[in-house]
Amino acid sequence: MTQDLAAVEQQVAELRAQLDALHRRVPSNKLSMVVFSGDLDRALAAFIIATGAVAMGMEVVMFFTFWATPILRDAGKKVKDKDLMGKMFGAMLPKGACAVKLSKMNMGGLGTTMMKHLMKQKNVASLDQMIALAGELGVQIYVCELSMELMGFKREEMIDYPSMDFCGVAKFLEEAMDSRVQLFI
Amino acid sequence: MTQDLAAVEQQVAELRAQLDALHRRVPSNKLSMVVFSGDLDRALAAFIIATGAVAMGMEVVMFFTFWATPILRDAGKKVKDKDLMGKMFGAMLPKGACAVKLSKMNMGGLGTTMMKHLMKQKNVASLDQMIALAGELGVQIYVCELSMELMGFKREEMIDYPSMDFCGVAKFLEEAMDSRVQLFI
Amino acid sequence: MTQDLAAVEQQVAELRAQLDALHRRVPSNKLSMVVFSGDLDRALAAFIIATGAVAMGMEVVMFFTFWATPILRDAGKKVKDKDLMGKMFGAMLPKGACAVKLSKMNMGGLGTTMMKHLMKQKNVASLDQMIALAGELGVQIYVCELSMELMGFKREEMIDYPSMDFCGVAKFLEEAMDSRVQLFI
């Protein structure tokens, strides 16, 4: 019977090892988003989801890439020493959250102005207010280094945000692999 | 030896508690989709995925927001008492599934007509037929309350659908956190 | 006490069964992507994520559908016997990875040319190079059969790619259900 007990103990140890292994494969209570689009509507959706998720106790990581990168530019900051391409992208892409437009019904800016007016009237925070709120709530923002380089953006022209880092796709994947929810917006 | 047995029993109880905790962290066999786009092509993709997932035994939850909201309007229903903004959005946004257009190659409606013709010829269900099928199959639709309010839509102008509810982002996140698959379309 | 031991053995067997059941519900270290968009920028993002994920040890499955399908056409292959609709789609949609355009700032092709020039200058692989790399790394590509049929594409006009198969939505869902990360691009 001592042998029997030893056998059970052995089985329990094996179960524990399996459980630990499984534990490492189950993702954390985290939400990872790739924010790819530079449209006002999609950016709003991303931040409404991000701040909502923090309110529900989730950790939130946003990875800004391509057209979404200029949303994080600070309209008040000026950068010198850009090359020709950097100057062109800088001039053609929106300068910060207040400058982005709706993906549809923009109508030369009229639709975007209407939507902003409506949001104010209905007490919905504006995009720059939502970004500030996300920062206060601890939402982590990563900015894609490749996008920064291709568009010629400099780190010193981005907004002041509590937890903003610059990284490559590996960092996003690492976070996404450990997230319960992943979205590409 | 009685002590040894008690120790093993204690270990088994601990394992059970850990297993139960892990169990709660593993998502259900559910698919959650944010349908954000109001384009015919993306809406078709969303419903093809939704109905396919039900056929494979998954539970499916669709969360309609922003430009996708008007897809669920009923072309035959009229609503009074809208304010000016509501009337403008109502007039400018498509009235239901039969009125939405392709995101590309629309060519003033010609491309959309061609695609619909092709789909009929190849025996592919139309968008409104797919919505009806999704309803029969038990696909749950949530409509974003904020989008309804911003665009001035009233509940009584939406289609009759077996399980349609109106909710905020928290409801979507709750479902997404418990879903094996999440998509933003 | 023999009874007690038997009871513990019974409990351990139950735990093992529960653990096995849970094991089957935890997804594999896999990334599944629906590539829906036919834009150069989104296709680049998809392949940067795909190749990055393989480099991190993940299995990667890409499901090409709708506007993304023509990205996989081989510009050098000609196909006969297409019907009128097939010829029209064939002529209007881009012929392969080198022909796709940016979703924004295309400016009649100038923006796309600028971006390609920039990518070359910064030593970023072009889209067709990335597709070739993905093939070498073992990224599995599925092409949506319904899209092929609707757009009148033939299998013999697609690129030579190591692991390309043609399938329906069920195959994608099967892969997505078993994936840690799922994205709709």
Q: What is the pLDDT of residues A108-164, one digit of tens each?
A: 888 999 899 999 999 999 999 999 999 999 999 999 999 999 999 999 999 999 999
For chain C, list the contacting chains (3+ Cβ pairs, <8 Å).
A, B
Q: Which residue of A has its CA nearest to C114?
A: A85
pLDDT band, residue A107 (cuts 50/70/90): confident
In a domain, A105, yes or no: yes
Q: Do B173 and A181 touch (CB under 8 A)?
A: yes
How much is the pTM? 0.95
Provide the pLDDT for residue B70. Answer: 97
Q: What is the CATH number of the domain that holds A87?
A: 3.40.1260.10
Q: How far apart are CA A8 and CA C2, in angstroms?
A: 13
Touching check for C56 and chain B: CB below 8 Å?
A: no
- With beta carbons under 8 A apart, name residues in chain A contacting C114: 85, 88
| pLDDT of C145 strictly over 90 | yes
Touching check for C110 and chain A: CB below 8 Å?
A: no
| pLDDT of C1 strictly over 60 | no
Question: Between B26, B92, B183, which is nearest A105 by CB?
Answer: B92
Q: What is the pLDDT of residues B80-111, one digit of tens each?
A: 889 988 998 999 999 999 999 999 988 888 89
Nearest to A146 by CA among C125, C39, C113, C62: C125
Question: Between C104, C118, C184, which is nearest A150 by CB?
Answer: C118
Q: Which of B47, B118, B127 to mutate to test the interface with C (most CBs of C within 10 A)?
A: B118
Provide the pLDDT for residue C100. Answer: 95
Contacts of B31 (CB under 8 A, 6+ apart): B49, B50, B53, B58, B59, B60, B61, B179, B180, B181, B182, B183, C173
Q: Which residue of B has its CA nearest to C28?
A: B180
Q: Do B181 and C184 touch (CB under 8 A)?
A: no
pLDDT band, residue B24 (cuts 50/70/90): confident
In a domain, B7, yes or no: no
Distance from CA of B31 to the nearest CA of A (A): 11
For chain A, list the contacting chains (3+ Cβ pairs, <8 Å).
B, C
pLDDT top residue among B35 and A11 = B35
Long-range contacts of C75-84 (CB under 8 A, 24+ apart): C75/C99, C77/C156, C77/C157, C77/C158, C78/C157, C79/C154, C79/C156, C79/C157, C82/C152, C82/C154, C83/C152
Contacts of C124 (CB under 8 A, 6+ apart): A146, A150
Q: Which of C118, C123, C178 to mutate to test the interface with A (most CBs of A within 10 A)?
A: C118
CA C72, C114, A66, B145 dihedral sign is: negative
pLDDT top residue among C104 and C3 = C104
Q: Which of C20, C24, C66, C147 to mutate to test the interface with B (most CBs of B within 10 A)?
A: C66
| pLDDT of A179 strictly over 80 | yes
pLDDT top residue among C18 and C168 = C168
Q: Do B177 and A182 touch (CB under 8 A)?
A: no
Residue A152, both tokens: 């010629």
In a domain, C167, yes or no: yes
Touching check for A150 and chain C: CB below 8 Å?
A: yes
Residue C50, both tokens: 């795909």
Provide the pLDDT for residue B8. Answer: 87
- With beta carbons under 8 A apart, name residues in chain C contacting B34: none
Question: Between A2, A52, A115, which is nearest B1 by CB?
Answer: A2
In a domain, A143, yes or no: yes
Provide the pLDDT for residue A48. Answer: 98
- With beta carbons under 8 A apart, name residues in chain A contacting B176: 180-181
Provide the pLDDT for residue B77. Answer: 95
Touching check for B110 and chain C: CB below 8 Å?
A: no
| Average pLDDT estimate for C139-160 | 96
| Average pLDDT estimate for B28-51 | 97
Residue A107, both tokens: 């109508």
Q: Which residue of B has its CA nearest to A184?
A: B184
Touching check for B10 and chain C: CB below 8 Å?
A: no
Touching check for C17 and chain A: CB below 8 Å?
A: no
Q: How far apart are CA C96 and CA C92, in angstroms?
A: 12
Q: What is the pLDDT of residues C60-113, one digit of tens each?
A: 999 999 999 999 999 999 898 899 889 989 999 999 999 999 999 888 888 999
Residue A174, both tokens: 């690492």
Q: Which of C37, C169, C175, C185 to mutate to test the interface with B (most CBs of B within 10 A)?
A: C169
Instruction: Calculate the average pLDDT of chain B.
Output: 94
Q: Do B48 and C11 touch (CB under 8 A)?
A: no
Nearest to B36 by CA among C35, A103, A67: A103
Instruction: Tell me the residue range of the domain where B62 lies.
Output: 27-184
Touching check for C55 and chain A: CB below 8 Å?
A: yes
Burial of A1 (0-12, 13-18, 19+ CB in 10 A): exposed
| pLDDT of B1 strictly over 70 | no
In a domain, A17, yes or no: no
Q: Which of A180, A182, A184 to mutate to test the interface with B (most CBs of B within 10 A)?
A: A180
In a domain, B76, yes or no: yes
Provide the pLDDT for residue C9. Answer: 87
Touching check for B133 and chain C: CB below 8 Å?
A: no
| Average pLDDT estimate for B147-176 | 96
Question: Between B1, B18, B170, which is nearest A52 by CB?
Answer: B170
- With beta carbons under 8 A apart, name residues in chain A contacting B90: none
Interface size A-B, in CB pairs within 8 Å, comes to 87
Q: Which residue of C has its CA nearest to A148?
A: C122
Burial of A94 (0-12, 13-18, 19+ CB in 10 A): middle
In a domain, B120, yes or no: yes
- With beta carbons under 8 A apart, name residues in chain B contacting C184: 183-185
How many structural domains is chain A composed of?
1
pLDDT band, residue B178 (cuts 50/70/90): very high
DSSP-derived secondary structure for A159-183: PP-TTEEEE-HHHHHHHHHTEEEEE
| pLDDT of A2 strictly over 90 | no
| Average pLDDT estimate for C17-44 | 94
Residue B4, both tokens: 């040894």
Provide the pLDDT for residue C3. Answer: 79
